[in-house]
Amino acid sequence: MAAGYTMTIDGKSVKGSKSTGVINPATGKIFAEVPDCSKAELDQAMNAAQKAFPAWSKDINARRKVLNECAAALQQPPEGLARTLTLEQGKPLDKAAQEIMLTSMWCAFTAMLDLPAEVLMDTPDSKIEIKRKPLGVVAAITPWNYPIMLGMWKIAPALLAGNTIVLKPSPYTPITTLMLGEILKDIVPPGVLNVVSGGDELGSWMTSHPIPRKISFTGSVETGKRVAAAAAPDLKRVTLELGGNDAAIILADVDPAVVAPKIFWGAFENSGQICSAIKRVYVPEQMYNALLDNLGEIAKGVKVGDGLEAGTQLGPINNKMQFERVTELVEDAKKHGAKIVTGGSRVGKEGYFFAPTIVGNISDGVRLVDEEQFGPALPIIPYKDVDDAVRRANSTHFGLSGSVWSNDSARGTEVASQLECGSAWVNQHLAIAPNLPFGGAKWSGIGVENGTWGLMGFTEIQVVNSVKLS
């Protein structure tokens, strides 16, 4: 069993007083031990971040230089980082390597951003400036689907804005984030970036801790609501990037054989474990059977397996709880008369593998359509009228993203603009980039990440209004 992973607290490697196991989703067995942060150790991290804040917040050019050095360090990551990501998360090894490179790219792009400042008045007798000031210490909590990349979505803008940070990865995928802390601890000044590991109790301690002035959380709606409630008594600022039930609406002018591969990978990338992946598809009645057949053929040809095996395209579901949820939703759909075109059950006897599942003869009101499955099962729903499809797509508490598919991009754009979501794509899905704001409407979140918009979320506005003393 692998050992030796440490937290980063005040620039030091900390083994912690307790440990907890990490499960490889391809086997369902513990393969490594990581520190289980105590309350005292969390206090040390928070105090270190608070102590480091005044010096760190002074010079944006120095901060920019540090972030560029962090990005460079990740361009040539330590041997074994991608393999470890596959072991703890499950994704294919090439996808793990891609995530690490994207992490470097996000860091480098963020380092180039400027904090906007405005001068509203500048005369010999008076000057009014609008400035962006850092908040202080940020508590960041990240999920298990893209642990290292989504960690950097928080680290880079928080640090560039002048904040310091205490970050906790998911207990399902803590190792690569702990390794990230080790990689960066000799680049970032002590106390500026602290990485701790532990379970839900640690997350609760972080959100209620008196030191942080902001909480940045990515995860489920249910947990996001608890984070918001914990932040409220202290009026901590929050950014919440929560779940989605993204609808794809296919218009009648497309060829189902052409659009099917794009829909499939928009839904099944990372085994469907992406908050903004396609979760349900609305298709014209006359195209319904053809699309089902095309998607079913693609699903049958995909290799599901251990991410370390050559040729694997889809790895396991990351954890037992999520595996059981996907299984439950598919079984519930069967009970409601759904047709399983392909898949519909686990693969093998070990681990959390689930066959890519295409589901027909299903409609709104069934849990697989109404809820976020966050896994490799996709319901296909026929419609008669585009306006009705838009209404059904919007009839949800979720509002993260959605897409419209049409050979007439102007018509597609017109329909996409009617979707009640943070990102509306036309003839594409998962088009997420570091220069674009990403966030949700309704229950899918508060605030945005990425680009200048995400950077500003780690700041407060300050008005500096000066006049000449007469």
Q: Is there a domain that residue 138 lies in?
A: yes
Same domain, 269 and 202: no
8 A C-beta contact, residue 106 and residue 441: no
Q: Which amino acid is at 118?
A: E
Of 210, 242, 274, which residue constitutes the final position of a domain?
242
Catalytic residue (choose from 37, 70, 107, 275): 275
Does residue 299 register a pLDDT over 50?
yes
* pTM (two decimals): 0.96
Does residue 1 register a pLDDT over 70?
no
Q: Would residue 297 show up in a list of annotated catalytic residues for this protein?
A: no
Same domain, 145 and 79: yes
Same domain, 195 and 294: no
Q: Which amino acid is at 368?
A: L
Q: Is there a domain that residue 114 lies in?
A: yes
Q: Would residue 241 show up in a list of annotated catalytic residues for this protein?
A: yes
The domain that holds 329 is classified in CATH as 3.40.309.10
| 27-44 pLDDT tens trace | 999 999 999 999 999 999
- 2 band by pLDDT with thresholds 50, 70 and 90: very low
pLDDT score for 3: 52
The domain that holds 48 is classified in CATH as 3.40.605.10
User: C-alpha angle 356/359/360, rounded to 5°?
Assistant: 155
Q: Is there a domain that residue 454 lies in?
A: no
Contacts 24+ apart (CB under 8 A), 153-157: 153/106, 153/218, 153/449, 153/450, 153/454, 154/216, 154/218, 154/449, 155/107, 155/193, 156/67, 156/70, 156/106, 156/107, 156/110, 156/111, 157/110, 157/113, 157/449, 157/450, 157/454, 157/455, 157/457, 157/458
Q: Which amino acid is at 50?
A: Q
- 226 band by pLDDT with thresholds 50, 70 and 90: very high
Same domain, 201 and 265: no
Q: Is there a domain that residue 464 lies in?
A: no
Same domain, 107 and 202: yes
Listing DSSP states for 254-275 in one string gives S-HHHHHHHHHHHHHGGGG--T
Q: Is there a domain that residue 113 lies in?
A: yes
Same domain, 292 and 430: yes
Quote the number of domains for the chain.
Answer: 2
Q: Is there a domain that residue 209 lies in?
A: yes
Q: Taking residues 54-78, what's their average pLDDT?
A: 97
Q: Taking residues 194-209, what's their average pLDDT?
A: 97
Catalytic residue (choose from 88, 241, 269, 449): 241
3-state helix, strand, coil in the chain (%, to 5): 40, 25, 35
The rounded mean pLDDT for the chain is 97
Domain interval for residue 70: 7-242
Chain-centre distance for alpha carbon 305: 23
pLDDT score for 116: 85
